[in-house]
Amino acid sequence: MASVQHCDLAIAGGGLAGALIALALAEKRPDLDVRIIEGADTIGGNHAWSFFGADIAQGERWLIERLVVHAWPGYSIAFPRAVRQLPQPYYTIESTRLDAIVRQTLAPERLTFGATIEEVTPTTILLANGDRVTATGIIDARGPGDLTRTMDLGWQKFVGRDYRLEAAHGLANPIVMDATVEQIDGYRFVYALPFGVKRMFVEDTYYSDTPDLDVKAVGQRVAAYAAARGWQPKRKLREETGVLPITIGGDFESYWRSTGAGVAKAGMRAGLFQPTTGYSLPDAVRLAIAIAAERDLSGAHLATFTHDYAAAAWRSQRFYRMLNAMLFRAARPEERWRVIERFYGLGPNLIRRFYAGRSTFPDKARILTGKPPVPVGRAIKVLKETSWRA
């Protein structure tokens, strides 16, 4: 017989955004019965989420401090004409840690695993097996909505492998972009995170016009890169793949409606991600803290609150969409690396604010002035033809 559970707040999808909301509410509103309904058997799937120190404000760190598994004081980038060390802390959260912390924080009866959600309304979650969860408020955090039909996109796609190595690699800090590799399928770079003395995470990444990912071929390039660096794998501990949206333009309201107009949303489902990287962790932290500060957690209020929050974020990201239009539409695919190389020649504070999505007016002016790495005529045409302003 179908069962019904009732609670104060139910979160559909125990991924990054859903888990962070549950943890923020456990801290700020311990009186509430908050539940997570997740399709898989774990919280957070198979992920490593990384972020720069400046992405998270001092007052927001309490939410993720205990989730951080790896921390470094700086990182480097490498381009054909420049190698640079940047003194900006870098951190990684692993999904196994997020899973463990959520299980420590929420009592077992508040976590439902292996449950396929069929429908979400502002106050109900209907499961495929006929079970129901009713709540004062529901937040839908089940990952992306209909991105392709509502937005104009480029893609960041990658295959990453976490290797246990035969010998110590000797790399102290992450290489966030090694763009000295052969340029294939757009802008290509390798990302390397030293997770331990004999452990290295290597990811081969493409800023591509298409979302197709040849996992086998890219996996082989990961292995070839590791071999070329002298990092001999003993064992592959984990592999992850990703195809993330890079927004050039689109219609935010259509995107929001693609997963139901009157329902509260979080994470990728709310369109909350950095437009130039597709990364969503900093936005997920901010939204979780903002929700935990709301007194009214009814479905109707949360729907309006999360919609208005995400719509304001979308409006504030026009500059990034315009740069993405330049990168994907004005620069030829094999020349895209020049745009990024030029960007990394700018000041470290400007770079820090850029990734945090907090570029100032002088930052924007600085990014746009100087010798353009794309043909001016082409740039003007692209600016006219794409919907980055929307």
Query: What binding mask, one character per residue, do residues 138-177 give for ligand FAD by CB under 6 A, x or -?
Result: ---xxx----------------------------------
- Is 348 near ligand FAD (CB under 6 A)? no
- Is 355 near ligand FAD (CB under 6 A)? no
Q: What is the spatial distance between Cα 52 and Cα 358, in angstroms, rounded to a whole number?
A: 13
For ligand FAD, the nearest residue by Cβ is 15
To ligand FAD, the closest distance from the beta carbon of 382 in angstroms equals: 26
Q: What is the spatial distance between Cα 283 and Cα 255, in angstroms, rounded to a whole number?
A: 17
Nearer to ligand FAD, 218 or 281 (CB): 281
Nearer to ligand FAD, 141 or 330 (CB): 141
How many residues sit close enough to ligand FAD to count as binding (CB under 6 A)?
30
From candidates 7, 10, 11, 15, binder to ligand FAD by CB under 6 A: 15
Q: Which stretch binds ligand FAD (CB under 6 A): 36-44, 246-254, 314-322, 344-352?
A: 36-44
Interface residues for ligand FAD in 279-318 (CB under 6 A)?
279-281
Nearer to ligand FAD, 48 or 331 (CB): 48
| 171-181: burial string, b at 16+ Cβ within 10 Å, e else | eebbbbbbbeb
Residues 23/153, Cβ–Cβ less than 8 Å: no
From candidates 39, 249, 250, 299, binder to ligand FAD by CB under 6 A: 39
Q: Which stretch binds ligand FAD (CB under 6 A): 10-18, 24-32, 175-183, 333-341?
A: 10-18
- Is 218 near ligand FAD (CB under 6 A)? no
- Is 126 near ligand FAD (CB under 6 A)? no
To ligand FAD, the closest distance from the beta carbon of 270 in angstroms equals: 8
Q: What is the spatial distance between Cα 307 and Cα 310, in angstroms, rounded to a whole number?
A: 5
Residues ≥6 apart with Cβ < 8 Å to 214? none
- Is 244 near ligand FAD (CB under 6 A)? yes
Nearer to ligand FAD, 283 or 329 (CB): 283
- Is 50 near ligand FAD (CB under 6 A)? yes
Q: Which stretch binds ligand FAD (CB under 6 A): 77-85, 101-109, 274-282, 367-375?
A: 274-282
Binding site for ligand FAD (CB under 6 A): 13-18, 38-40, 45, 47, 49-51, 115-117, 141-143, 240, 242, 244, 267-269, 278-281
